[in-house]
Structure 1
Amino acid sequence: MHFYLLPLVSLLAIALFGSSVMGESSSDRESVVFNPNALLDNVDANLAFQSPFTNVPQLAVPLNDRHAMTLLGHAPRSRQMATANPQPRRNTQDTPSAGRVPNPDDPDSFGDEFMHGRRRRNRFQHPPVSFEHGVASGDPLESSVIIWTKITNRGPRSSPVVVQYEVSQDAQFRRQPVFRGTVLTSDDVDYVVKVDVKGLSPRTTYFYRFKSGDAVSPIAETKTLPRETDQVNELNLAIVTCSNMAHGWFHSYDRIAERKEVDVVVGLGDYIYEYDLKSYPSPIKALPATRNPVPAKNIVTLTDYRQRHAQYKTDKALQRMHAVKPFVAIWDDHEFADNTWNDGAPDHDPTRDGPFSQRKFAAARAFHEYMPIRPQNAKDDMYRVYRKFSFGTLADVILMDTRADGRDEQARGNRGTRRLISKDQEAWLYGNLEGSRAEWKVVAQQVLFAPVLQRILGWEIPLTSDTWMGYPAARDGLLNFVNQRRINNTLILTGDFHASYVSNLFADKSKYDKHTGHGSVMTEYVTPSTTSSTPMSDKRWKHKLAAPVLKWFNKGAQWVDLYRHGYVLQTYTRSKVTTRYMMVEDVKSYGGGREYLAAHMEQASGANRITSMEVKDD
């Protein structure tokens, strides 16, 4: 919230057939051994080539003829002819030679129709590359996790790049990796690599890295989730939102990276901002020009969104956090355009920017390419990122999408019937809440749920109508559902607001006691922005004037901070949730990363309200 594709093919080093692992010798680094059939059949092993949404397959990146020519230049003529008249894709378990299982250490096992680097002189040469955008992991499950990186290709721009990934339980990779694979990337997907590593063990720490030619990425760390039925005694989440590169240094990311206890980082959206510098300048003082938006304009096209994501991924604090913590992410409006709804945005001008549907697609594809998330399945042509993560029987983290999935325009049409989310998502949300067997039901979403002034003399305020208050049917529906079904221990994590705000939430105002909190059915924890300008433009004196107004209007308000930046730490146990609001000293200063505790609160199991709170600094 602001307060004021393309064709492709592949080329690929075969490192494993089925589940076997192939070793690598230093003498083989400059050449690539590959099986053309496997290349053509497994391009989408790099998830960046897949559609972000399995129900919209046309958004996938198809094979590119020019990369096919690169591949075919290293294949026998018979293979070139076969590819010129392609047959239906084969099952990837098919073996190249009938009755023989290929052995990477035995060139003859590939058969005459296949090329092996040690048998031919025209080996594929790696272009010079580097890993300048770091590495990341995300969407952990009990037996799989997404790993991500981006290649900087210093060779010909059109050249495809072969990338190997390795996964180990040894932080120094002194032992043989437990998984190793090879994928292709190219300019068709902005040289992004994204792999779903499967077959992992639950509740296990893994280390991973990427290689291409002589280039090796930093070694990174990730962790799988417990089984849904596992007894888990403690979960530690770090929650972040609203990181505008031009508004400050990402100190919160560094502090999270240093915290050994954090299991997962939850990103509530606004991971990037779409503005140019003039449209949303930094308050108080400007940052160095190196943090100015790239490209230097309001972004609209796929190339624009890719460049902006790539710029953010060069931030060293962001890289340090991603290298040690799995990331669970949803989008908000600024991954698209400010205050976007399902098919539009206030700042989008079709005559200037083109159809919003094209912009929405471009933003969604760039998000898919640059974030370590899995493709999701929805109905019809809907875009879906809502999904659930289970941490044993302790907590279910339910990620909603209150932006791109079925939202009607704010402050327009019939207020009583206006939809915030699609009917499918609403049914999915209610089903997961009612069906959860976890102690805690954690709804992670974008926009403010607590009451705010939304109408004056019958006129709707567009700014506050962007919140749940602007969609009363959705808001009342969720409160009443949780209340009537007696779904205890439901709490909401919120981003977007650029401020810290903790509230008890009640379905019936007349039955809520503001002094004791009795009558509350849920709680809400609004996360401060990482750097984005606060509602009070980062000024404490303005906060002192405005905070009492919010508390006066919201009977359930427990604590408000409208001027500082930071992140939230939450510790879940069987008996309580402990929440700590951690603030950083000065996002405008490179050396201002010291953190301190601003507020500490507890929510006892079964209470459905804040049961104790201590404000350290206001």
Structure 2
Amino acid sequence: MPRINRRHALALMTGTALTSACATPGEEAAQSATSESSDPAVFRHGVASGDPDASSVVIWTRITTLASEVDVTWSVYDDPEMESLVASGAAKATDETDYTLKVVVDALQPGQTYYYRFEAEGVRSRLGRTQTLPVGAVDQLGIALVSCSNYPFGFFNGYDAIARDPEIDFVLHTGDYIYEYGGPEGWGEETASVIGRPHDPPHEIITLADYRRRHAQYKSDAGSREMHAAHPLICCWDDHESANNPWTDGAQNHQPETEGSWAARRAASIQAYYEWMPIREPMPGRTRAQFWRSYIFGDLATLITLETRHTARGKQVDYAEWAPKLNTEADYAAFRRDVLGDPDRHMISPTELEDISVALSESVAKGQPWRVIGNQIPMARMPVPDVIGLGVLSTPLETSLEAHKRLAWLGKHGLPFYTDTWDGYPVAREAFYDLCKSNKAADLLVLTGDSHSFWANILHDKSGENMGIELGTAGITSPGDFVDSGFDAETAKALDQVFSDQLPEVTWTDNFHQGYVRVVLYPDSAKASYVAVSTVLSPIYNTRTIKAFDIQTDGKNLALRQA
């Protein structure tokens, strides 16, 4: 088979964005993420599909009803005209799963496009499109890398653009699909008050009912519904699906004295995630928290998604706790060695490492050119440059921005930008690299979210050996850190530039835009296009490619160059 079957790939779907073409690289095209009439009231959260393999895929919907239970039928076709029925069945939607419904449709053909819909209470859902994974020869694979969709900060125009993008086969969401914040002081609420998108419920979410309600709100966004109806989803979670910066025994944004048990809150967040996302239940012997997967795309690629929050992660190092104790260079050296470098602070569990090892070794044995890692948080080394000594920032005053003071301190001592990323777990990162090298897989293509910025990074282990390329995506709506911290545009651009100029692993970065990364894999090369939306403050927007890189592979190493 030459590639994933795109038969009817841009076929008309009533009421969906698939009737319009996406802007090609370097062009702009006006788009509108508004299609309220395309989702009947019974199916107001649309349809979705995901977690595919070569012979099956999950299809999903949610029923809005006042009944205690609802009979639902589903149908799958291999043509958009719905003339060739492939599979069908019936199920019940109940309050036990918040009236969400997931069906694993099996006995499908590999590498094929399928169309599906649901019917309940005499109403039919919109038509969704999905795909199975290919087998055999595959000469092209298009992945949309997305992350960080925060409802109050804006409309999910990046999702809408992905629905229109003819080069996309699958969507990889690397986390922060929802955010837990809420209330008048919640992050983004100032913007929400202007554009009319406050969080629902209007408070920080803690209970199962809260998490369900928040997921429902996010899937009510028009752009979200378009993307899910157009492409199957492959996903992993990060922190905000539960609470900011969690580790195995707690989270930065969880206060047990007022918010109860962390274990109960985490269980509620995970249950809601499994209900509201088009993903399979865990295999026998595994828990829902063990949410890592691998996907095989014929002879072209294996994609491995990571879980780095709930099954192994040690508590993050808190700079605020340690700063008063660090007075001499010896103190800082000991801090780097003994605190950041504590070998007992893990990121990935032994069971997950075993599964990763198997997936990597099988990929290498098959001669696949690409080993892709779906990764939540930046992996590249990012010690903050000496922004004061380099003249990027002035010596901070008492009245300076807190971010200005923080960057000055970090840069003076060459400390990591953040300690919640892989930089805060350097021993765990080396353990992951060692595992990859032991499987002759030092040519990783790491696709990363979390940072709200675009990145193109070259990865190395502690000895300097090349480990591959990291592509990072900006947020769908979440703003870049330098902009969000209050720096003016000129200073924020200078900070972007100094990171790319001074850090060996950073080739390019941009924290000014929202959007996604289009990654197209070929047998001996890949192209990464950084697609930005012109605004998230209105559902009327343009798209353009602000940067593009070519990636070459020789079977052992990856090389990055600007396209």
Give 2:154's aligned residue. Answer: 248
Give 1:211's aligned residue. Answer: 119
Work out whether 1:390 is the aligned partner of 2:293: no
Post-superposition Cα deviations, 1:146-196, rounded to whole Å, max 9, x if no partner, equal 00000010x34xx21010001111312234x22110001112211111110
- Identify which of 532, 536, 552 aligns with 2:478: 532
Q: What SS does the corresponding residue of 2:246 show, helix, strand or coil?
A: coil
Give 1:313's aligned residue. Answer: 219
Residue 346 (structure 1) shift: 1.0
- Alignment check: 8 A CA contact 2:236 2:305 kept: yes
Q: What SS does the corresponding residue of 2:457 show, helix, strand or coil?
A: strand
- Identify which of 574, 593, 598 aligns with 2:523: 574
Q: What SS does the corresponding residue of 2:176 show, helix, strand or coil?
A: coil
Residue 283 (structure 1) shift: 8.6
Give 2:317's aligned residue. Answer: 411
Distance change >3 Å, CA 187–CA 381, structure 1 → 2: closer
Q: What SS does the corresponding residue of 2:432 show, helix, strand or coil?
A: helix
Give 1:601's aligned residue. Answer: 549
Name the CA distance, whole Å, in 2 between partners of 1:336 and 1:489: 32
Work out whether 1:478 is the aligned partner of 2:432: yes
Q: Which has the higher contact order (CA 8 A, sep 6+)?
A: 2
Distance change >3 Å, CA 313–CA 288, structure 1 → 2: farther
Name the CA distance, whole Å, in 1 between partners of 2:287 and 2:138: 38
Give 2:83's aligned residue. Answer: 174
- Alignment check: 8 A CA contact 2:111 2:131 kept: yes
Give 2:329's aligned residue. Answer: none
Q: What SS does the corresponding residue of 1:611 show, helix, strand or coil?
A: strand
Q: State how 1:41-440 maps to structure 2 within 5 Å.
A: 130-153=42-65, 155-156=66-67, 159-175=68-84, 177-227=85-135, 230-282=136-188, 285-286=191-192, 288=194, 290-377=196-283, 383-411=289-317, 415-436=342-363, 437=366, 438-440=368-370
TM-score, normalized by length of structure 1? 0.72
Distance change >3 Å, CA 162–CA 284, structure 1 → 2: closer
Name the CA distance, whole Å, in 2 between partners of 1:548 and 1:284: 29
Name the CA distance, whole Å, in 2 between partners of 1:507 and 1:553: 18
The residue identity in structure 2 corresponding to 1:570 is V
The residue identity in structure 2 corresponding to 1:180 is S
Residue 445 (structure 1) shift: 1.1
Decide which moves more: 538-547 or 303-312.
Answer: 538-547
Residue 485 (structure 1) shift: 4.8
Distance change >3 Å, CA 207–CA 379, structure 1 → 2: closer
Residue 324 (structure 1) shift: 1.1
- Identify which of 461, 471, 485 aligns with 1:507: 461
Name the CA distance, whole Å, in 2 between partners of 1:542 and 1:162: 57
Name the CA distance, whole Å, in 2 between partners of 1:460 and 1:338: 25
- Alignment check: 8 A CA contact 2:479 2:513 kept: no
Give 2:497's aligned residue. Answer: 548
Residue 563 (structure 1) shift: 1.9
Residue 378 (structure 1) shift: 7.5
The residue identity in structure 1 corresponding to 2:356 is L
Give 1:587's aligned residue. Answer: 536
- Alignment check: 8 A CA contact 1:305 1:362 kept: yes
Work out whether 1:496 is the aligned partner of 2:450: yes
Name the CA distance, whole Å, in 1 between partners of 2:157 and 2:466: 35
Name the CA distance, whole Å, in 1 between partners of 2:143 and 2:373: 13
Task: Work out the number of aligned pairs and report it.
Answer: 472
Name the CA distance, whole Å, in 1 between partners of 2:438 and 2:46: 47
Give 1:74's aligned residue. Answer: none
- Alignment check: 8 A CA contact 1:283 1:533 kept: no
Name the CA distance, whole Å, in 2 between partners of 1:477 and 1:199: 39
The residue identity in structure 1 corresponding to 2:350 is K
Q: Which runs of no fewer than 5 residues in structure 1 stay unpaired?
A: 1-127, 512-518
- Alignment check: 8 A CA contact 1:450 1:554 kept: no
- Alignment check: 8 A CA contact 1:240 1:568 kept: yes
Name the CA distance, whole Å, in 2 between partners of 1:302 and 1:468: 30
- Alignment check: 8 A CA contact 1:244 1:530 kept: yes
- Identify which of 374, 377, 394 aligns with 1:444: 374
Q: What SS does the corresponding residue of 1:536 show, helix, strand or coil?
A: helix
Distance change >3 Å, CA 491–CA 462, structure 1 → 2: closer
Q: What SS does the corresponding residue of 1:143 show, helix, strand or coil?
A: coil
Distance change >3 Å, CA 379–CA 139, structure 1 → 2: same
Name the CA distance, whole Å, in 1 between partners of 2:548 and 2:303: 21
The structure having more radius of gyration, on CA atoms, is 1
- Alignment check: 8 A CA contact 2:174 2:448 kept: yes
Name the CA distance, whole Å, in 2 between partners of 1:311 and 1:391: 33
Residue 343 (structure 1) shift: 2.0
Post-superposition Cα deviations, 1:559-610, rounded to whole Å, max 9, x if no partner, equal 011221110001101110110000111112332x201111110111126344
Residue 286 (structure 1) shift: 4.0
- Alignment check: 8 A CA contact 2:181 2:187 kept: no
Residue 431 (structure 1) shift: 2.7
RMSD between superposed Cα atoms in Å: 2.4
Distance change >3 Å, CA 287–CA 501, structure 1 → 2: farther
Q: Which runs of no fewer than 5 residues in structure 2 stay unpaired?
A: 1-39, 319-338, 385-408
Q: What SS does the corresponding residue of 1:249 show, helix, strand or coil?
A: coil
- Alignment check: 8 A CA contact 2:430 2:462 kept: no
Name the CA distance, whole Å, in 1 between partners of 2:317 and 2:41: 50
The residue identity in structure 2 corresponding to 1:168 is Y
Residue 433 (structure 1) shift: 1.8
Residue 552 (structure 1) shift: 4.9
- Alignment check: 8 A CA contact 1:411 1:461 kept: no
Name the CA distance, whole Å, in 1 between partners of 2:192 and 2:41: 34
Residue 424 (structure 1) shift: 1.1
Residue 295 (structure 1) shift: 0.3
- Alignment check: 8 A CA contact 2:153 2:478 kept: yes
Q: What SS does the corresponding residue of 1:152 show, helix, strand or coil?
A: coil
The residue identity in structure 1 corresponding to 2:99 is Y
Name the CA distance, whole Å, in 2 between partners of 1:254 and 1:129: 20
Residue 287 (structure 1) shift: 5.3
Name the CA distance, whole Å, in 2 between partners of 1:589 and 1:548: 29
Decide which moves more: 410-419 or 209-218.
Answer: 410-419
Residue 545 (structure 1) shift: 2.6
Q: What SS does the corresponding residue of 1:523 show, helix, strand or coil?
A: strand
Residue 542 (structure 1) shift: 3.6
Residue 288 (structure 1) shift: 4.9
Residue 461 (structure 1) shift: 7.1
